[in-house]
Amino acid sequence: MVAARILLLKRAVFATCLLPLVVLALDAFRRGLGANPIAAIEHSTGRWALVFLLVTLSVTPLRKLTGYYWLLRLRRMFGLYAFFYVCLHVLAYVILDQFFDWTAMFNDIAMRPFMTVGFASFVMLIPLALTATNAMVQRLGSKRWQALHRLIYVIAIGSVLHYLWLVKLNKTQPDIYGGILAILLGFRIIVAMGRLVRRAMVGRALKLPASGAN
């Protein structure tokens, strides 16, 4: 894809990713958030954070399946949007839900497993957002940067558990997110195993003539 088209696509995707926030703001303005607006804000921002995490994780499989390399140019934006919506989610919790009651928040995070795992996922997401620039890739070195960014898998699992554990009755929604995550991680495991098998076969093929000569 030519640079101008990619720029246009990036702008369109950037604007589209803002839509959930615009819809939420309009609903809040029109007092259309239902009986518990604070919970509605927490739920919407939390769900969109999870959606963007999964979209970020789906870029590599989609690129591999379709051969569309330009998809990679959008991955960073999706990841940063996940972080953006998580920040809104946490701000809604700290300001609207708990009103800066740090003791209550500490107890909440320490005593409720779904909060502990959500908080841990949020904390792990911070270094990924801070190192999302090309300059940071160069500074850390590609290998170390990649190793750090593998945290995204732990974060995504933590986020699904956060959702799964907070829902008491109907677990259909978190199960769907969990299923999508399982497919995305399963794809990577299959690709990695295929690579290992290929490497082993090449290794054996290279060794064979040598051992035959002995």
Task: Provide the binding-site residues for ligand HEM, judged by CB under 6 A.
Answer: 39, 42-43, 46-47, 49-50, 86, 89-90, 93, 97, 115, 118-119, 121-122, 125, 155, 159, 162-163, 166
Nearer to ligand HEM, 68 or 106 (CB): 106
The residue type of 115 is: M
118 contacts: CB under 8 Å, gap ≥ 6: 158, 159, 162
Nearer to ligand HEM, 43 or 188 (CB): 43
Q: Closest distance between ligand HEM and the C-beta of residue 45, in Å?
A: 8
Q: Closest distance between ligand HEM and the C-beta of residue 210, in Å?
A: 50
Nearer to ligand HEM, 154 or 196 (CB): 154
Q: Are the CB atoms for 90 and 27 separated by under 8 Å?
A: no
Structure tokens at 64: 């591999």
Select the residue whose beta carbon is closest to ligand HEM and give its number: 46
Question: What is the length of the chain?
Answer: 214
Q: Closest distance between ligand HEM and the C-beta of residue 42, in Å?
A: 5
Alpha-carbon dihedral angle through residues 25, 30, 32, 37, given to the nearest 10 degrees? 60
Nearer to ligand HEM, 61 or 162 (CB): 162
Q: Are the CB atoms for 62 and 54 separated by under 8 Å?
A: no
Structure tokens at 80: 């940063």
Q: Closest distance between ligand HEM and the C-beta of residue 160, in Å?
A: 8
